[in-house]
Structure 1
Amino acid sequence: MTTADMSTITAQAAQQRHIICMKWGTKYGPEYVNRLYAMVRRHLTGDFKFVCLTDNTEGLRPEVVCHPIPDINFNLAPGEPDRAWKKLTTFEADLYGLRGTALFLDIDIVIVGSLDDFFTQPGQFLIIKDYPRFWRNNAKRIVGNSSVYRFELGAHADVLAYFRKNSQAIRAQYRNEQEYLSHFLNKQGKLSYWPAAWCPSFKYACIPTWPTNYWKEPVPPKGTRIVIFHGECNPPDALAGRRNKRFRHIQPATWVAKAWEQAE
């Protein structure tokens, strides 16, 4: 193969766009993946490949390319869950032969705006800057929220390789994969964040303050592209006006249904 042929292949790979998600266990059914695909299709211009890393392909729509979740390859303590580290397997040096740019999306997000800029925003590795908490020094905190991150496939294989060699020490130092990932890539000067307006938290940015939460609907702020659900609510709860904490009322978030309207 000539140098020119190799350059052509490299250029073609760089133009390939992948949406990657992950589903395991029984907490989330196939409808989450199917809705996510439909929302991406509505909000992303042009061609892309939609890939789900999963332990169960039953019920997933045919447009979804399925692969098993790679083995994280570390020994768990009795009763210790591995869910906090599974996303690191997206950084395999060779992830099922996929090449190009990957945008990872959690399956419990709701997309309400264009995704095009997520593939053009400058940066080697982009992630949500984790949401402020009043008990933390947020000015110095570099941790990202891994509900939405973008990277070049195979470009950060050292993230996973280093974890596999040092998993015990890393798990003692870091709470979860997003904390480890953020610090590892920040030390290399590769960590960047999405514009703050793009990926707000439903919990922190959409719910009206008390007491207006009793009569005002939770709505995404101006400039939102993707609403992130973490903690006490998932999208069906938000749509139904449910919270899992007493005395924290919300009205039904009717825009969730609109985001899903073409998702079946």
Structure 2
Amino acid sequence: MERELALLASRARSPRAVELWRRVVAANPQDTAARCNLAALLPPEEAVEAYEAVVLMSPPEDQLEACHSNLAGLYVRLGQPARALEHCVGGREGRYNQNVALRQLGRQAEAVDASWEFVGRPKALVGRTVVCVKWGKKYDAGYVNRLYRAVSRHTDATRFVCFTDDARDVDAECKELPPQRFLRGWWLKAYLFSSEAGLEGRVLYVDLDTVVLGPLDEFFEVKTSSACVLGTDSLANERRDGGYNSSLMLWVAGNFGGLIYDLLSEDFFATLANAVYKFDHWLEMLFDDLPTFQDRLPGRVVDYVEDRLPPAGASIVVFPLHPKPHDLVDQVSWVRDNWR
């Protein structure tokens, strides 16, 4: 009888509803449905405690999903977006709350990516993609996340994809690298040029050990129907002219580079690896006159060479040798300010 009265009071929005539901819960503390009905009537702080208690009781699936959804919404209202994300477990309400919580945390790009992942990104919008490769243990997820955040700060309407063999703790969209028994390290860049990689439009590859300082839009606007790479002429670490450095590459997916990967069968690579050490040299074997960023965007890309001042006008600093960005964050202010 008391339960029926509580239901009627709730529907009538009677002030007595809270008292009646408290009685129902007191009479049967394991009644998770009653606990949920009571929580829905409480002030936010009390409601959070009530819903959290129900979650710990392992209620039926529909009640559990509703509790998580309500908790996410309450934590958003209370200004605790990190806690809200813990309860965004699926469903429409979960996605709504995830969108709001991520934006409250300053992770708008991640919220946008999550929405597109759910609804399906129209091909018309897949025009610009930044890609990176994380393989093995040389670089951890922090390197990917810092690059992802830097790209988000310096360009709009750009997709970011990390190709990796270990997506744990990576905030960006990830694609799994295929199991390659013979390609390792920088040679895995070749896979990005394959049809299997599923890339479209203009693609900008960026090495993980890169610091982004300024706008990136102009890199996508370089006039080329094929590709653009770093030239070796102005890179102090290369000590050679006329070559390519693959720390930064732009290409038009589908229009360029299929042979870069397609020629690398296991048997062929076994022979090639006895003559060619670097992926850069493989590019030079295939293409003898690619445009370079130094020619198309003078001064926008530089390499780090013991320079403790912010490179004037540069948008990208590459670190092909040592030190790496993580070695410099405590010593060089512009690295610390931008590699975050």
Q: 1:129 to 1:182 in 2, by over 3 A?
A: same
1:223 and 2:330 are equivalent in the alignment: no
Find the residue that maps to 1:84 and give its secondary structure: helix
**CA deviation profile, 1:58-79 (whole Å, cap 9, x unmatched):** 1111xx11111134564x7xxx
Q: CA RMSD in A?
A: 2.4
Name the aligned partner's letter for residue 187 of structure 2: W
1:105 and 2:234 are equivalent in the alignment: no
Aligned 8 A contact 2:193 2:261 in 1: yes
Write out the 4+ residue segments of structure 1 that deviate beyond 6 Å after TM superposition.
Answer: none
| RCO comparison, higher one (Cα < 8 Å, 6+) | 1
Q: Which residue is equivalent to 2:60?
A: none
Q: 1:142 to 1:13 in 2, by over 3 A?
A: farther
1:98 to partner: Cα distance: 2.6
Distance across 2 between alignment mates of 1:135 and 1:106: 16
**CA deviation profile, 1:125-180 (whole Å, cap 9, x unmatched):** 111112556995x3xx3321111101122332111112326323432332211111
2:291 counterpart (173, 188, 192): 192
Q: 1:256 to 1:170 in 2, by over 3 A?
A: same
Aligned 8 A contact 1:23 1:53 in 2: yes
Find the structure with the greater CA-based Rg.
2
With structure 1 as the length reference, what TM-score do the two structures score?
Answer: 0.72
Q: Which residue is equivalent to 2:131?
A: 20
1:34 and 2:145 are equivalent in the alignment: yes
1:59 and 2:166 are equivalent in the alignment: no
Aligned 8 A contact 2:235 2:303 in 1: no
Distance across 2 between alignment mates of 1:182 and 1:116: 27
Distance across 1 between alignment mates of 2:237 and 2:140: 34
Aligned 8 A contact 1:127 1:149 in 2: yes
Distance across 2 between alignment mates of 1:154 and 1:72: 22
Q: 1:170 to 1:259 in 2, by over 3 A?
A: same
Find the residue that maps to 2:274 and give its secondary structure: helix
1:50 counterpart (160, 175, 178): 160
Percent of counterpart pairs with the same letter? 28
1:93 to partner: Cα distance: 2.0
Name the aligned partner's letter for residue 129 of structure 1: G
Q: 1:132 to 1:98 in 2, by over 3 A?
A: closer
With structure 2 as the length reference, what TM-score do the two structures score?
Answer: 0.57
Q: 1:99 to 1:146 in 2, by over 3 A?
A: same
Aligned 8 A contact 1:14 1:99 in 2: no
Distance across 2 between alignment mates of 1:13 and 1:153: 14
